[in-house]
Structure 1
């Protein structure tokens, strides 16, 4: 894989009539972000014409992220402290001269900058073709030591999905699975060494409650017929009996009382006793726990395979060592952080972080370890195993204050601020909304994930049958292998189509089966169309096009497509910083919408594009594929 060096890039720009060398500024990365080439020249022009410091000029330039507002925009008051910025704008427009841009125009406090339709295709297409699969990837972000880039890459551990094996695979676990896979793909594309970790909720009192349920409702015969479903049915039965007791305990707690008496009776006591049997290593309790764990891991593995997702490690609360938990407790006690209250060992975080973090229990009154203690120990074990630079937890927002804020603060109190600073909770809205269409047909609380996927597949099959003109390029001849991949990609696109904080309904079949712009099906359709057109066209090297062929790319629609393609590295960098995959989907939707202005929707597949347009389509196809892979979408073998 070769990429243009700076001298080669400058030689290419010089051949297009640009002044070289490219103006040098510390903030720009001209070999990774083509918009930075524009920023470099624009900064140089502005600092000279406005007679200001280059840093001031650079900081006055913004990316509007909308081609209708220009390719770049200058905030005039930031460029000049002169109150009469109109005079500054007039001076700039009168003396502005650069072949890369057309003459800028003033729009209120903004000076809008647009690429020249003659220059943009000639400068951008060779840039994209030089990089191909690495266009939009910022490989330096994954380098641990820039003075020795050949050394180890940065290490990221991503914990995601992480269902509780006692209960159903909930919508929030599905969201975590899709978001987590995207985060892993994103960091890998930026050259990080990524470890995908599924930390199962396979220990603790929920498993104890399931154990009580098994002893009351379990059937070996039904377990043999459908083990996963039978375990889920048992959990719902015992949970239904337990809910009134939970409510009674909560009421006492909310009224400022001590629920110890309530929690020492009934299912509370049975649950706690069963979990104590597990922690004591009782053979019968451990045997059931192992069966439950094995059944669920097998079931989840099939689901993840269906989604095209793999994990480097299946871990869980049960895998945390007693030695690591003991070490955490000793550190906490040595620093005077823990105190005993009503038989429980806890940390009063109100003394260290105000009321918002409350009290964190390390061991309950039965002497059993808590989720928090196990997670603290897990952090130490993972850091020693992987020496990670960062660990990201992709978990619903409902656990931020109740768990992760406490976890991070306790690590700081343990004199481990560096370790705490390496941890990040990437949260998403924890709404359990499911589309009404799915809810009408399925009882989610008693439905296995593969059944929901099957319902989505039926809907997409029906949609393809109703839209044969869309189905033909999308499905091809091998629908047996292609349909499941199309369904998975449509699901991924729908889950990632809204910002993480938004309340977004899972499994919205009306969107999943739709070919409307911005949907997964529409995105896959346009990618397939490009593949078909490029395969049947003569593809020139971008450096071999004649002047007449270059001129054919100077039309308004073609230039607007190029104006979108030039943004892609800025889009990927923005998503890396914000971890908002909806930004990628919105961008890809804009690309396909603009593409539809050039390629009529009813144009027959197999049509041959001109060499210039085939070159443009191949560059677009590469960007679409890169963006889709960034989201975690699959392309088969």
Structure 2
């Protein structure tokens, strides 16, 4: 606050700073100018400063103003033109912070004076450094102030099949959400809820008895297990098709089940699979040993993949880890409230009885085995007791939307509305082109290998940009990971998952490689500079030039971007924002580019840009290659 007050005094701005509810003047520079603007508006229209503040929005584009006043909100019922005229007549003409606003539609667009921008925003960013854009600098994240707890479940692949495109999206989006909540002061627990139980693992057990080879397993454990699963899956397909047809035939008659379907599922691979799952749930020694072997080798393989991707988990949980006692507890709760009933040996819930439009949820199948839904209901109770979370987010593809609707509706029907209110399903399109790119039977490492292969083939035309970063041969893996993460996070959740490796080796605006290039360039420009030194008046005057001012105005938006993303959980906005930073940064070089001497003022501007760019990259999950020992930054400069 002391440093901020000093900056405000240099601009002849009145102190103390106007007090406006829900503004964070120490965390967000736009909140600071919002407070001063709200005071002006409140004085002109004679209203409470809080009401004036609610009429002020962030335009999201510096060419539409640093802030905008929505006139109908400022004075409901008033004509925009008349209110704008009144505001322009009474707005202080020589205000040290704002130039005279102008009307555009129902918006009253407000710009900060160019000469005030560097004096206000530059030191604000430099003072906060790594904490700029986060809530950690406020101290609200300390345990004594009641730090909130988030559990985020993401990735969650099935250990019997390939790591699919939807699992990759879940991994990268989920890891981002974890970092985002941590940056805003939450205590985050990351869970990988593996598909390590149920009928798929039982089917793999059946397949192992027919196709398993210890010799092939020793040579390539995960690869051989995938091969076995695909073989037994192919054998099983005719039986599944026959069962599905029998079920459809019965459904046409308006019945829930038929003898033909029961007969089909009582023999062949159906029966073998069901017996294997019953053995697994009963703890039969050989089946349990097989399950443990498969689970352990897959977790080991996934752990190595996640390390390469820069993702960590606090708990490798899974369906297998759900307590049978808690499942029984859930079943009893359902029976006590008459929500579940027996049907053909299975236990079901008619969803219209719990507030859903239609559908039937199965709790236990006719073989007596637990279902995914029952295990998930029990998992919610276990986690709420273990972690006492304030929020739990499931980062799972949209093809599971029906499951989560059933899960939430059943919990509400069990009078657990408070718990249900803490749950959120963050969904995204499950449609992915990754399998088409990688083929069948690939292991997760193949995803990053394919990306690294693309980066290794960077065209010669990009050699100058690569040279800024360092030795490409030593940076292929981090560059490939950066390119992949940015490609994943730049798409909105509703879009199809392209997994376009041909587009990874590109320095196009906002790409992973482009962000790495600019952060490396900034580190090189700052070598030997002292950007936090006291600036002279002539430095501030130079920074008031249009290109430099516009860059600072964009940098001032970063906390606002983070705030919007926190509520939307759409990381594409951050990618777009960082692209706007580098685009404007390129406008700040003179005709001779970076060959010109770096003045103290420009060093301070570059440092502020580095802070924002690096904070944003780390939030996305990128490690700047400028930190690697093979980068240009860590090697002597010739000449």
Same fold (TM over 0.5): yes
Q: Counterpart in 1 of 2:9?
A: 14
Structure 1 unaligned runs (5+)?
A: none
- Secondary structure in 2 matching 1:287: helix
| Aligned counterparts of 1:85 and 1:279: Cα–Cα separation in 2 | 69
Contact 1:141 1:191 in 2 (8 A): no
| Aligned counterparts of 1:105 and 1:228: Cα–Cα separation in 2 | 65
After TM superposition, the structure 1 stretch with the greater mean CA deviation from structure 2, 214-223 or 562-571, is: 214-223
Contact 1:143 1:192 in 2 (8 A): no
The 5 Å alignment of 1:370-409 reads: 370-401=371-402, 403-409=403-409
| Aligned counterparts of 2:309 and 2:591: Cα–Cα separation in 1 | 29
| Aligned counterparts of 2:530 and 2:151: Cα–Cα separation in 1 | 44
| Aligned counterparts of 2:446 and 2:29: Cα–Cα separation in 1 | 46
> 1:85 pairs with 69, 80, 83, which one?
80
Q: Counterpart in 1 of 2:350?
A: 348
Whether 1:211 and 2:208 are equivalent positions in the alignment is no
- For residues 594-615 of structure 1, the C-alpha deviation after alignment (integer angstroms, 9 at most, x for no partner) is 111113798457x641110110
* CA 104–208 in structure 1, closer or farther in 2 if over 3 Å, else same: same
Alpha-carbon offset, residue 577 of structure 1: 1.0
* CA 81–165 in structure 1, closer or farther in 2 if over 3 Å, else same: closer
| Aligned counterparts of 2:82 and 2:150: Cα–Cα separation in 1 | 51
Q: Counterpart in 1 of 2:458?
A: 463
After TM superposition, the structure 1 stretch with the greater mean CA deviation from structure 2, 80-89 or 177-186, is: 80-89
- Secondary structure in 2 matching 1:393: strand
Q: Counterpart in 2 of 1:128?
A: 125
- For residues 344-393 of structure 1, the C-alpha deviation after alignment (integer angstroms, 9 at most, x for no partner) is 0112121121324x221111100111111111111222222211111111
Q: Counterpart in 1 of 2:429?
A: 429
- Secondary structure in 2 matching 1:103: coil
After TM superposition, the structure 1 stretch with the greater mean CA deviation from structure 2, 235-244 or 168-177, is: 235-244
| Aligned counterparts of 1:538 and 1:37: Cα–Cα separation in 2 | 27
Q: Counterpart in 1 of 2:498?
A: 505
Q: Counterpart in 2 of 1:547?
A: 537
Whether 1:38 and 2:28 are equivalent positions in the alignment is no
Whether 1:568 and 2:562 are equivalent positions in the alignment is no
| Aligned counterparts of 1:314 and 1:499: Cα–Cα separation in 2 | 28
- For residues 307-365 of structure 1, the C-alpha deviation after alignment (integer angstroms, 9 at most, x for no partner) is 01111111111111221112111222222221100100112121121324x22111110
- Secondary structure in 1 matching 2:262: coil
> 2:519 pairs with 515, 522, 527, which one?
527
| Aligned counterparts of 2:422 and 2:491: Cα–Cα separation in 1 | 27
Alpha-carbon offset, residue 273 of structure 1: 1.3
The 5 Å alignment of 1:620-635 reads: 620-635=609-624
> 1:490 pairs with 483, 492, 505, which one?
483
| Aligned counterparts of 2:139 and 2:340: Cα–Cα separation in 1 | 39
* CA 27–191 in structure 1, closer or farther in 2 if over 3 Å, else same: closer
Alpha-carbon offset, residue 398 of structure 1: 0.9
Please report the TM-score for the alignment, with normalisation by the length of structure 2. 0.92
> 1:28 pairs with 23, 44, 49, which one?
23
Q: Counterpart in 1 of 2:283?
A: 281
Contact 1:540 1:612 in 2 (8 A): no
- Secondary structure in 1 matching 2:230: helix
* CA 153–540 in structure 1, closer or farther in 2 if over 3 Å, else same: closer
The 5 Å alignment of 1:284-323 reads: 284-323=286-325
Whether 1:185 and 2:186 are equivalent positions in the alignment is no
Whether 1:615 and 2:609 are equivalent positions in the alignment is no
Contact 2:356 2:409 in 1 (8 A): no
Please report the TM-score for the alignment, with normalisation by the length of structure 1. 0.92
Q: Counterpart in 1 of 2:114?
A: 117
Q: Which stretches of structure 1, 4 residues or longer, exceed 6 Å deviation after superposition? A: none
Contact 2:190 2:314 in 1 (8 A): yes
Alpha-carbon offset, residue 241 of structure 1: 2.3
After TM superposition, the structure 1 stretch with the greater mean CA deviation from structure 2, 492-501 or 239-248, is: 239-248
Contact 2:525 2:594 in 1 (8 A): no
Contact 2:201 2:291 in 1 (8 A): yes
Structure 2 unaligned runs (5+)?
A: 629-639
| Aligned counterparts of 1:383 and 1:53: Cα–Cα separation in 2 | 42
- For residues 146-170 of structure 1, the C-alpha deviation after alignment (integer angstroms, 9 at most, x for no partner) is xx96355211111111111111111
| Aligned counterparts of 1:276 and 1:631: Cα–Cα separation in 2 | 43
| Aligned counterparts of 1:92 and 1:83: Cα–Cα separation in 2 | 12
- For residues 401-434 of structure 1, the C-alpha deviation after alignment (integer angstroms, 9 at most, x for no partner) is 2x11211222222222222211111111111223
